[in-house]
Amino acid sequence: MTRLTSRTALVTGGSRGIGRAIAERLAADGALVAVHYGSDDTAAKDAVAAIEAAGGQAFAVRATFGTDGAIEQLAGAVAAELHRCTGSDRLDILVNNAAVSESDGGIEAETPAAFDRLFAINVRTPFFLIQRLLRQMGAGGRIVNIGSAVTRIALPGELGYAMTKAALATLGRNLANEVGPRGITVNTVNPGPTRTDRTAFLFDQPQAAAMVSAGQAIERIGLPSDIAAVVAFLAGDDAGWITANTIDATGGSYLGPKTLG
């Protein structure tokens, strides 16, 4: 597929899990992808190598979100590498995927330090990264924020995390109205239960997988590729009339009883 040929993309948290699947899919569709990562050099190299082995183009960029100067460090590195590869620092697609999601245990167990870290990485970073990178985006630009089904489904121990993802959805809706005159779209994708390297310990247990699957309209655990497909659509030309939306990409998680009996 070549629907994103000549496009450039940045995927934050792109070396593992859903982020890696998104980076691989955008590259498979023809984009040159900057794979951001925080600390795992091996995972980043593996992600880039996999993209290149499949015939795509990618490079890795490191920045530790939540630390001083991380946004400018990332933006500068991406601009320099894009210019080297294409002769321009133009960025067409930004996917804000990087986030921390440690269980906070609910309001009784939350601490100011943990709360501040959640918002620093999950809200403040994408906000100011968008601010910094908008100068490199032109008409047809795409911003996709990765939210979470926990903004719809109240799960124990996810209060602080859910608040950050709700803030991200609000950011997307309001920002879409602001940048729409420039021809840039902004959307949010909310994954549900998804099997990644970090959740495999749970979803590889037959009882847990069966319990979660039973709560789905489509009775299986989601895959990173399921989310990547939605992001790839939003990044392409066919989604040019879709903006300010939050897309529930959960397979129908927890919609209610399937029968009346």
CB burial of residue 140 (10 Å; 0-12, 13-18, 19+)? middle
Distance CA 250, CA 75 (A): 31
Beta bridge partners, 9, equal: 33, 93
Sequence letter at residue 48: V
Distance CA 188, CA 191 (A): 10
Retrieve residue 139's tokens: 């008409």
Question: Would you say 51 and 256 are in contact if contact means Cβ atoms under 8 Å apart?
Answer: no
The answer to whether 161 is a known catalytic residue is: yes
Retrieve residue 46's tokens: 């593996």
Give which of 84, 122, 82, 79 is closest to 102, Cα–Cα: 122
Question: Would you say 242 and 234 are in contact if contact means Cβ atoms under 8 Å apart?
Answer: yes
Q: CA of 19: how far to CAs of 58, 126, 241, in Å?
A: 13, 14, 24
- Cβ-proximal residues to 15 (8 Å cutoff; 6+ apart), any chain: 23, 35, 36, 37, 40, 43, 44, 46, 47, 60
Q: Annotated catalytic residue: which of 95, 161, 216, 243?
A: 161
Residues known to be catalytic: 161
